[in-house]
Structure 1
Amino acid sequence: MVCLILGLIDAHGVALRQAGTINNDPNIAIHLDGWNKLKPYGLSIHGAVDGFSRRVLWLKCCDSDKKPMYISSFYIDYIREINGIPVRVYGDSGTENAIVRDVQLALRWTDADQYEGILSFVYVSSNRKVRIERFWRSLREMCGNVWMNHFKDMSDFGLLDTSDSVHLECIRYCFLPVISKDLNEVYNIWNSVRRNNRIACPAGKPEVLFFQPEVYGARDCKYHWLTIGN
C-alpha cells in the first residue's frame, strides 16, 4: 500500500530510486533534516545522512534547528572533515538551510558537471528524504523516546513549565551535554553496525560503504578542494 501511494504522489522520485540514479555513490547526495520531538522542551536535533552508505554525517543537539548559522556550521565542519564538496545536498525549504544552500552553490558554481551551480542544492519534501526520515525512526527507538518521556514526566509532575523561558534555559544547561553524549553513542553505533539491504545500494557497515566504496563497485564522488573551479 505504501509503495502504491508513493507511486501516486512522487512517481518521478520512485522512478529515479528504482533506476538507482539518486544515491549510487558516496557524497553524490547528502540529506539534511531536523528532528523536532524535543522542541517543546527547548531542544532540537539536526542530522545529515549520506544517501549511498546511509552513514550519519553529523548528529547534533542545539537550542534550535531553525538557525541558519547552526546548520551551516555543521555542514562546513563536514566538508572540512572529508576535504571536499558533496555533489548534491537535499534539504527542507525552510530558512534554516539558506546559508548551506549559498555555500554549496558557491563552492560548486564553476564545476563542469550536470549538477553544478544551482542544481547542487535541492529543496525537497519529507517523502523524498527517505534516508534521513528512516534514521529518525531508529533514533527515536535508540534514545529519543527516553528523553521525550523524561521531559513529559517532568511537565506532568509540575517540575517543568514549557511556557517559562527560564525553565527552558535550565533544561538546555542541564540536559544538552547529556543528550549530546547519547547522540554521539548513536552516531558511533549506527555507523559501525552492518545493515541489511532491501533497496538499491549494497548491504554493509555505513563506515565501510562510505570510506571504502571501491569494495562495492562504487566511488567517492566528492569534489576535492584542488579541483574546485577546474
Structure 2
Amino acid sequence: MASVTHFIQNELLQSGQLHGYRMMAARCKESGLNVRMEDVRIILLHLDPVGVSLRRSRSIRRRAYYAAGPNFIWHFDGYDKLKPFGLCISGCICGFSRRLIRLNVYHTNNNPRVIGGYYLEAVKIHDGCPRFVRGDYGTENEHVRNFQTFFRRDSPDHDRAYIDGASTANQRIENWWGYLRRHHMQYWIEQLRDLQDIDSFSGDFLDRSLVQFCFLALIQVKIQYYTYSLGKRKLSGSSELTYPIFYHPTPYIILECRHTF
C-alpha cells in the first residue's frame, strides 16, 4: 500500500490532481499496481481532501441524446483554452460510442483547409464517412461541410449530411472538452498561466512560438494517451466499453451507420 500511496502522491503533483478515484485507480493499474478502487478512494480522501470536496460538489443535469449507432454522427469542435499561448486543439467524437475520432494540437484550429484535412484523414482511416457531421457556424468547418455533402450526395438525406449550430449545443464533444479539462488540460492551463504571472510569457509571436516548440508535441502525446484510456472505460449506464462498440457493433445488435464509398 505504501507504493500505491507514493504513486498517488506523485500524480497529485501533476495533472493527476484533477483525477477522481476511478481514474486514479485506472492509472495505478496501468502502472502495474494492483489496488482496489475503494482503497484509492480512501487514499485520495486523506491526501487531497480539498480536491475530493470540489469534485463532490459538482452536479450535472443530463440532456436527452440520440444516435442510431457507431458513425451515425461525428461531432466537430475546437478547444481554445490554450489558444492565448499558441496551442489550438481540434477534435471529433463519435456521438454514439463516444469514441474519439481524432484530437489534434496545432498552431491553428480556424483554418478550414487544416480542419478539412483532419476530416479527410479520419475518413481514410475509418474507410468511410459518418451519416451526419455536427459542427459550429464558423468558417473553419467550411471544407468539412463541402466534403461531407459531396460524399453523401446520393443519399436521400444528403441535404442534412452536415448540421451546424451553436458550439454550446454541440453536447457530445462539449462533454468531452469538460472531461479533458478536468483530467488533463487544467494542469497545463495553470502551468502556462504561471509563466504569464511571473512575466515569462508576454503573448507575442516569439513567446507563442517557444511554447509551441516546447509543449505542442508533448501535449499531443499526453492527450492521445488519455484518449486511449477513455476508450477502455465503460460507457455511462452501460456495462460495455467504448472501443468494442465502435469497431464491432454487430454482436451488440447495434446498427453500423458508416457510409462507405
* Range class of TM-score, shorter chain: 0.7 to 0.9
Aligned equivalents of 2:235, 2:259: Cα separation in 1: 27
Cα RMSD, aligned residues only: 1.8
Which of 124, 129, 135 is matched with 1:85 structurally? 129
Aligned equivalents of 2:240, 2:211: Cα separation in 1: 38
Aligned equivalents of 1:192, 1:88: Cα separation in 2: 25
Is the radius of gyration larger for structure 1 or structure 2?
Answer: 2
Q: Which amino acid aligns with 1:221?
A: C
Find the counterpart in structure 1 of residue 249 from structure 2: 213
- The answer to whether residue 62 in structure 2 is matched with residue 42 in structure 1 is no
Which of 139, 153, 161 is matched with 1:120 structurally? 161
Aligned equivalents of 2:99, 2:239: Cα separation in 1: 12
Q: What's the CA shift for 1:2?
A: 7.7
Q: Determine which structure has greater relative contact order: mean sequence separation of CA pairs < 8 Å that are 6+ residues apart, divided by chain length.
A: 1
Q: Which portions of structure 1, spanning 4 or more consecutive aligned residues, are displaced by more than 3 angstroms?
A: 1-4
Which of 58, 71, 80 is matched with 2:102 structurally? 58
Q: What's the CA shift for 1:126?
A: 3.0
For structure 2, the residue ranges without an aligned partner over 5 or more in a row are 1-58
Q: Kindly provide the CA deviation profile for residues 170-224 of structure 1, in whole angstroms up to 9, marking residues without a partner as x.
A: 1111110111111110111111222322xxxx55211111011122221211111
Find the counterpart in structure 2 of residue 142 from structure 1: 183
What SS class does the counterpart of residue 221 from structure 1 fall into?
coil
1:140 and 1:203, CA in 2 relative to 1: closer, same or farther beyond 3 A?
same
Q: Which amino acid aligns with 2:126?
A: I
Aligned equivalents of 1:92, 1:27: Cα separation in 2: 19
Which of 198, 201, 205 is matched with 1:160 structurally? 201
- The answer to whether residue 234 in structure 2 is matched with residue 194 in structure 1 is yes
- The answer to whether residue 154 in structure 2 is matched with residue 110 in structure 1 is yes
For structure 1, the residue ranges without an aligned partner over 5 or more in a row are 7-13, 226-230
Aligned equivalents of 1:2, 1:153: Cα separation in 2: 30
What SS class does the counterpart of residue 59 from structure 1 fall into?
strand
Aligned equivalents of 1:203, 1:47: Cα separation in 2: 26
Q: What's the CA shift for 1:3?
A: 5.9
Aligned equivalents of 1:181, 1:24: Cα separation in 2: 32
Alignment of 1:13-28 (within 5 A): 17=65, 22-28=66-72
1:105 and 1:215, CA in 2 relative to 1: closer, same or farther beyond 3 A?
same
Q: Which amino acid aligns with 1:206?
A: T
Aligned equivalents of 1:184, 1:159: Cα separation in 2: 28
TM-score, normalised via structure 2 length: 0.73
Q: What's the CA shift for 1:127?
A: 4.1
> How many percent of aligned residue pairs carry the same amino acid?
27
Q: Which amino acid aligns with 2:208?
A: L
TM-score, normalised via structure 1 length: 0.83
